[in-house]
Amino acid sequence: MTEPKRKTSWMPSNKWWAATITGAAGVGITWADAGHWTHLLTVMAITVASQRGIAYFVPNTWGTG
């Protein structure tokens, strides 16, 4: 039996936006707590950006197909 073709879109999902806003908020809160931009904040920002890029381009599928 064949599976129906999934409808795909380049628009980010609500789940993607929720995780992106949460990650950005973490960087923002740490920045506010530190009082100035630090090396740690740069590392955090690069981590959030790369994780969000990977999450955007890797489809939400499971198994073979």
Burial degree of 63 (CB within 10 A; 0-12, 13-18, 19+):
exposed
Q: Which residues have a Cβ under 8 Å from the Cβ of 45 and sit 6 or more positions away? A: 27
Q: Would 29 be classed as within a structural domain?
A: yes
Answer for the pair 11, 55: CB distance below 8 angstroms, yes or no: no
pLDDT by position in tens, the chain (length 65): 566 666 677 788 888 899 999 999 999 999 999 999 999 999 999 999 999 999 888 877 766 55
Domain count, the chain: 1
pTM over 0.75: no
* Residue 46: domain span: 14-57
Q: Would 7 be classed as within a structural domain?
A: no
Cα(first)–Cα(last) distance of the chain, in Å? 13
